[in-house]
Amino acid sequence: MCRVLDLSLKFPLDPQKSIESLGGSESIYYNMLSKFEPMSLISGLEDMAKAVNDKDWAQVKGKAHSLKGASGYIGAGGVHYACYHIQELFLREDYDEMIQYYPSLVEESIKFRIYSRKLIA
C-alpha cells in the first residue's frame, strides 16, 4: 500500500497544509512551489507520456511515484491523488484501470499550473 497525504481538494493547491508541514516557513514553501513545475512536473509528465505510449507500466508507476512525493510536499492534492491511484493500481496489477487515471493526472496538472501561477503572482 502506498502512503498518501491528507490534502484538501477544494483548490488545486493546499498551501496552508504544506507550510504547516514545513514548520511555518512560507519562504521555503514558495521557493519549492516555484521549482516544482520546471524540475518535476513537466519532465515527469513527458516521461510518463512516453511510458504510457510504450505500455511500460513499471515506468508509469515509477514516474507517478516521483510526482506523488513532489506534489505532496507542495500541496498539489489533485496531482498527488491521481499519482497515488496510478501507483496503487500498478501494485494490484490492474493496468487497464491504472491507465484510466492518466487523463485525470493531466487535467489536475493543468489546474495546478493555472492556480499556482495566480498564487505565486
Say what the pTM is.
0.90
Tens digit of each residue's pLDDT (9 = 90 or more) over 49-102: 999 999 999 999 999 999 999 999 999 999 999 999 999 999 999 999 999 999
Q: Is the pLDDT of residue 1 over 60?
A: no
pLDDT at 47: 97
Q: What is the mean pLDDT of the chain?
A: 92
Half-sphere exposure (Cβ direction) of 27: Cα atoms closer than 13 Å: 0
CA–chain centroid gap for 113, Å, is 11
